[in-house]
Chain A
Amino acid sequence: MTSARRPTWRLCSAGGALVTAWWLCLASAMPVQASSDAATAGTTRVQVWFSNDRLNKDLMDCKAVFPVERRVPRTLAVAAASLRELFAGPTPEETVAGYRSVFSTTSAGLLKSVHIRDGTAYVDLHDPVQELSGATASCGAAEFQSQVSQTLLRFHTISRVIYAFEGKPRDFYGWMNESCGPANDNCDPQPFGRGH
């Protein structure tokens, strides 16, 4: 675990023009921890969460994940930047430290888009098929969703996550062996449509 300081967060206003609300929320979700040293100037600190069997006290708990810190070029789209870091998988150094994931360099381009509306992060992914084969096993699926959820739920504007492949939630949840229901808005594709 590399994060030593607790970041502070800007508040996200619920008001504002609808067209830009999600973008503002996305921007305001970013940690405002200022970088004082020159080496980190112009960067944003993000956390991504991976599994780690050395840190996990209950190896049957597939949802146990642990944070690592990354620095990315300063951006307002912090949620997207965080997911891109997550989907690139652990670094070699993190792997040595026991962090692991279904994500790796081969899945680095997995994110198609993410937008936030009314507390829900809509994560649209490119259809991975081959790259994430272990992610649909009972334990692997729990790891997948826990790593993404924990990475996003750090942003106070996000309280839940809904996924899609290429704009189609039904494809994602079918791949995950999960039913469409209230928890995923019955796989409604509308929020993933054009305009986001």
Chain B
Amino acid sequence: MYTVKVYKGDYLDRQLSANKDKAVAYVEHHFNSAGPTASYALVIVGSNASQTSVNWGSWYAKAVAEQFNTKVYRDDGVSRGGLDGRGDGNLKHTAMPAVLLEPLFVSNPQQAGIVRSVGGQQALARILVESIRRFFPQGGLIAFSVGHKYKKSRPKDRGAELAGGGNEADFAEMVLKQAAEMLVGEHAAPQPRKLRVMKGDTVLLETQVDEDAVLVWSSDRNLLFIPD
């Protein structure tokens, strides 16, 4: 069973509050920005991050890259301690596994379109929820933090502008809201393993498979084989 709390205020205060509440995981959601062709999924973990944080971040980055046909940052999608230390202070004071998400570039018009779309937001929320269920199956309080927004020190900060309009922070908040609804609203008990076939954002097929089943994809036959 999961509960979700959105932490506000300056980043240090958010982390200390989450520690005090004994959250089991901490997620700060941003979007990246550079040029119009930039395209890779990045997750920052603190300089003092646990291996759980690294594995969680890498799993998330790879899932985003697969979903949106992009790359992951460097080898595993994870920057330890942030790029030149930026982002480290957003996480390093947490007492639980913590990640700072930069899944897509809002300066890239195509990726900004994904961020702006309901389907894109749902897909990002779904990946985040799946990552939380995978790495924290015991449930507990999940701490959410909207990057840039709700800071006392710079209350008007909203992060980067999206190509085509809008801002990073508002869309990050939309994704987190949907993820919170999924986490809290869907099946409280651990879920059986499921295989899904998706076209874009639409699930075409969903079926249960054994936990230990090894799925084999045959590209020659266009067949995904599920052992009995």
Contacts and interface: CB of A to CB of B under 8 A. Distances in A.
Contact of B107 (A134, A141, A145, A177): A134
B76 to A, nearest CB: 13
A130 to B, nearest CB: 8
Interface string A67-82: 0000000000000000
A133 B160 contact: yes
Nearest to A174: B153
B interface: dominant SS: loop
Nearest to A146: B84
Contact of A177 (B40, B74, B89): B89
Contacts of B74: 60
A62 B83 contact: yes
30 contacts: A51-B34, A59-B37, A60-B74, A129-B156, A129-B157, A133-B161, A133-B168, A134-B34, A134-B107, A136-B148, A136-B159, A136-B160, A137-B32, A137-B33, A137-B102, A137-B106, A137-B168, A138-B32, A138-B42, A138-B44, A140-B107, A140-B160, A142-B86, A171-B154, A176-B86, A177-B86, A177-B90, A178-B84, A178-B89, A183-B85
Give me the 9 closest cross-chain CB pairs, A-B, nearest first: A137-B33, A139-B34, A134-B33, A134-B160, A179-B89, A140-B33, A133-B161, A137-B160, A137-B32
Interface residues of B, number: 40
Contacts of A136: 148, 157, 159-160
B97 interface: no
B30 to A, nearest CB: 7
Interface size range on A against B: 20 to 34
B35 A175 contact: no
B88 A179 contact: yes
Interface string B160-187: 1100000110000000000000000000
A59 B33 contact: no
Nearest to A170: B153
A110 B33 CA distance: 20
Contacts, number: 95
A59 B106 CA distance: 16
Contacts of B86: 138, 141-142, 176-178
Interface in A123-165: 129, 133-134, 136-143, 145
A174 B154 contact: yes
A51 B83 contact: no
B4 interface: no
A188 interface: no
Interface in B82-131: 82-90, 102, 105-107
Contacts of B83: 62, 138-139, 141-142
Contacts of A138: 30, 32, 42, 44, 79, 82-83, 86-87, 102
Nearest to B158: A133
B165 to A, nearest CB: 12
B209 interface: no
A133 B148 CA distance: 11
B153 to A, nearest CB: 5
B136 interface: no
**Interface centre among B34, B73, B159, by most A CB within 10 Å?**
B34
A53 interface: yes
Contact of B32 (A139, A176, A177): A139
A177 B87 contact: yes
A45 interface: no
A143 B86 CA distance: 12
Nearest to A165: B154
Contact of B161 (A134, A175, A177, A179): A134
B1 interface: no
Contacts of A51: 34-35
Contacts of B84: 63, 141-142, 145, 178
Contacts of B33: 133-134, 137, 139-140
B141 interface: no
